[in-house]
Structure 1
Amino acid sequence: MSLDIPALFHAHGEDRYDLHIRYLNEQMVRVLKVLGYDVSFHRAQGAHLWDRDDRRYLDLLSGWGVFALGRNHKGVREALVSTIDGELPNLVQMDVSPLAGLLAERLLSHTPYLDKVFFANSGAEAVEAALKFARGATGRPGILFASHAFHGLTYGSLSVTGDEMFRRGFGPLLPDCAEIPFDDLAVLERALASKTIAAFIVEPIQGKGVNMPSEGYLKGAAELCRLHGALFVVDEIQTGLGRTGKFLAIEHWGVEPDMVLLAKALSGGYVPVGAVLTRRWIFDKIFDRLDRAVVHGSTFSKNDLAMAAGLATLHALKEERLIENAAEKGTRLMTAFGRMAERYEFVKKVRGKGLMIGLEFGPPRSLKLKAAWSALEAMNQGLFCQLITVPLFKEHGVLCQVAAHASHVVKLLPPLVIDEGDCAWIEHAFDTVIADSHRVPGAAWSLGKTLASHAMKAKAGAA
């Protein structure tokens, strides 16, 4: 008798928090309860989630970008079922799968300047491979990365992540990895002039903050890397596969990098997969002899389910015109948020491309609001954004979060399948909540005091 997993899930739905407290990450459960996110989701479809009371929510997190096709996409599910039912000779290891070759071919059709693909199991693994490939191909030790960058949490990827909150307590990290300011070509050029740099790795739009490059930055960075013999590596793990209204975000600036890193959305929301797209000469420097055919790899990379998920994802993006939809819906939402920035003092900037959008909040002009802002910030930096995200969730069923630790940016990363009704839902919810935040005293600021109290208790406990 086979195991009924959905039945097991629903039978233990009420136990989920106790199980995690006992066996997994207790602090994550505490966060959910403090913020009021402990609603126990029990089903999902497309851009929507339903909780234990069958209330519907609009998901603007997309599992940090994994669910670009929405949850439980029918086409990807059917492709995976057919792969399992096909009884294919998966992971023979002393053989190669045609599915991996086909997925590589279809990915490279979007980047005609690149020639080879290395498959991994995640975005972090793709970053790890890129770091090894860069050092192995150039014979140089140095890696440059940008401040505020996020490339993953394994040791190599953490070594090129520019956020001290993630790095603290885990050193020493990889040597010869140097942080430079994002969007600063002069500093990049000085660092490259040492001729010891193997690669500069950068997100075209930084996920932690939705930080945008100036118009000539990425093109200039690529040119400087080539001038000084370093590789230009673009991390498209969150921005790629249509998120910004182009297949790759780098296309907005007409730049051809030496490596492109993909993951998240390539999974179709089902099977983890990562990919490094690279130039032939780099690949051939790594896998240069028969006895080095397996010099880098991973047991489960190129597994048939992951390759099937990737193939089905690319098919859905094209057939359902989801990249075009991301561009269209992103334009609508950016326009609506731009109008809110004109009306509301707390909204300082709206930035992004396609369906990767950041709303930056900041100190208001009027004295009464400024005093309230300053008091809250003094208790815990970045707490104001929870006055936006928590009411969005509790009162409007909109799931989103801040773009980074202690950030003043609320980030939207919705599935690319959202429709006009979802856009109207987003616009109404944000407009209402932001308007409420301008009423002092009011419900939003009462929430702020409660959250500040929790934050101060947490700091005291840590001390």
Structure 2
Amino acid sequence: MTDLSTVQSSVSAAQGGAGDSYDLAALVSAREGDRFSLHSKYLNEMWVRVLRTIGYDVGFTRGLGPYLWDRKGDRYLDLLSGWGVFALGRNHPAVRDALVSVLDGEFANLVQLDVSTLAGILAEKLIGRAPYLEKVFFANSGAESVEAAIKFARAATGRPGILHCAHSFHGLTYGSLSMNGDEIFKKGFGPLLPNAREIPFNDLPALEQALASREIAAFFVEPIQGKGVNMPDDDYLAGVQLLCRKYGALFVADEIQTGLGRTGKFFAIDHHVGIEPDMIVVAKALSGGHVPVGAVLTRKWVFDKVFDRMDRAVVHGSTFSKNDLAMAAGVATLDVLENERIVENAAAKGERLLAAFRKMAEGYELVSDVRGKGLMIGVEFGKPKSLKLKATWNLLETANSGLFGQLICIPLFKDHKVLTQVAGHANPTIKLLPALTLSDADCDWIESSFDAVIADAHNASAVWALGKTLAEHAIKARINA
């Protein structure tokens, strides 16, 4: 590790004098070589091992728009965008300027015995996108917003039950974890919330059966499931709304990943006529990629059931939830989405990429399905028919279900400088979740890279070499677990 006195000298030299501003960039630069050792010692060592195992330990040092640069100066196209946080790309100038203006303005931030003007402005803008809702509650993240929605639903209905779908993902705090459709996230953390039930996604008869007990406070559903990019039938959300109203349960749309233009509409529910949930949960992209923020948009009568008297005015809240930097990031983000026609660009570029991937599916036996909306795209790989590829596929599936996806992700990263990953644990689908600002040149980059890697994957010898290595790592990890 770098000697601490050397770091301190570097930072002091960069500052230039007692009256100068603190140069954090100098500190980061001086400690860059310690990036992975610091995380191994003080943070999550297992994650460092994962990055090194799959060759992703390149050390990103800069981000702008949809691009990343590593310590060697190589440029990458980021198709993860921080799991959808960087919908505007990294370091969008309008968001950055908004944050600087807050700091320069020396606002009276987080005066807890006052209210925030910026919070009111952001709430007004959000309700303008869902005018059938009337109130907003701000939080610090998507998971925290889901927790608030759980509490609101129980308070409003007087019912204990919370309903969610298999393969869902709503967060990793205890309430949201209780609605997680992947057991790997739950193992070792129980008991979780009682009265949380799971039903299949896209199954209206199962939903009605669960709601018929009249014990369900709310049904939480992602309009498009993030884990796998699972699409609903055209009539599914309309059926959800009808059944929730019939049985007195609240309909909660989790738009944490799908919202704010991701699918080519402001909300994913906007693809369906007449859908008006009782609550919409948003986060991720609302941050502008800078300051964490989440929000629950809700009906007034639900909100009033929680904050029903003056002595209950603070019955639920979060210390930093309406801080001026987060609110400014949200306001700026909504303005950029509108002024730069970001949502329209997501729709157009998504349509182009989906068409390109569907054409690949026609020519490559390993591509079993392509699905998505806008710039939320899933490319699913399935068991090949040809004998020369079956052996490798079976080896990988035996070692670890869904491992084949890494045979696509790793060469995309290593050989084509495209950063992406599978759409969930043991999932054979690679998910594209890029910045919504993609250009045609970026689409060319994506299409040519995927086409080259998928073509190589049909070469049995190439697949075997990488697949054998990945399988050995997976088996070794399982033995040592």
TM-score range, shorter chain: over 0.9
1:184 aligns with 2:199: no
Partner of 1:161: 180
Shift of 1:11: 1.3
CA deviations 1:241-290 (Å, max 9, x no partner) are 00000000011112110000000000000000000000010001110000
In structure 2, what is the Cα distance between the partners aligned to 1:100 and 1:363? 50
In structure 2, what is the Cα distance between the partners aligned to 1:168 and 1:226? 34
The question of whether the paired residues in 2 share the 8 Å contact of 1:10 and 1:42 is answered with no
The question of whether the paired residues in 2 share the 8 Å contact of 1:121 and 1:300 is answered with yes
Match of 1:21 among 30, 33, 40: 40
Shift of 1:423: 0.2
The question of whether the paired residues in 2 share the 8 Å contact of 1:151 and 1:235 is answered with yes
Match of 2:376 among 333, 345, 356: 356
1:244 aligns with 2:244: no
1:461 aligns with 2:446: no
Shift of 1:366: 1.3
Match of 1:437 among 454, 457, 466: 457
Q: Under a length normalisation based on structure 2, what TM-score does the superposition of the two structures give? A: 0.95
Partner of 1:91: 110
In structure 2, what is the Cα distance between the partners aligned to 1:58 and 1:421? 11
In structure 2, what is the Cα distance between the partners aligned to 1:354 and 1:266? 18
CA deviations 1:24-73 (Å, max 9, x no partner) are 00000000000000000111100000001100000000000000000011
Q: Superposed, which structure 2 residues align to 1:274-313 within 5 Å?
A: 274-313=294-333
The amino acid of 1:434's aligned partner reads I
The question of whether the paired residues in 2 share the 8 Å contact of 1:437 and 1:445 is answered with no
Shift of 1:3: 2.7
The amino acid of 1:18's aligned partner reads S
The question of whether the paired residues in 2 share the 8 Å contact of 1:134 and 1:231 is answered with yes
What SS does the aligned partner of 2:129 have? coil
Unaligned runs of 5+ in 1: none
Partner of 1:328: 348
In structure 1, what is the Cα distance between the partners aligned to 2:464 and 2:44? 30
CA deviations 1:295-325 (Å, max 9, x no partner) are 0000001110000000000000001100000
Partner of 2:11: none
Partner of 1:4: 23
The amino acid of 2:434's aligned partner reads P
Match of 2:101 among 67, 82, 85: 82
Runs (4+) off by over 3 Å: none
What SS does the aligned partner of 2:118 have? helix
In structure 2, what is the Cα distance between the partners aligned to 1:341 and 1:368? 19
Shift of 1:372: 2.1
Partner of 2:394: 374
Unaligned runs of 5+ in 2: 1-17
Match of 1:196 among 210, 215, 230: 215
The amino acid of 2:151's aligned partner reads K
The question of whether the paired residues in 2 share the 8 Å contact of 1:47 and 1:59 is answered with yes
1:268 aligns with 2:292: no
Shift of 1:153: 0.4
The amino acid of 2:203's aligned partner reads D
Partner of 1:341: 361
Shift of 1:171: 0.4
Shift of 1:371: 2.4
**Number of residue pairs matched by the alignment:** 461
In structure 2, what is the Cα distance between the partners aligned to 1:215 and 1:398? 32
The amino acid of 1:297's aligned partner reads G
In structure 1, what is the Cα distance between the partners aligned to 2:397 and 2:477? 16
The amino acid of 1:430's aligned partner reads F
In structure 2, what is the Cα distance between the partners aligned to 1:67 and 1:366? 40
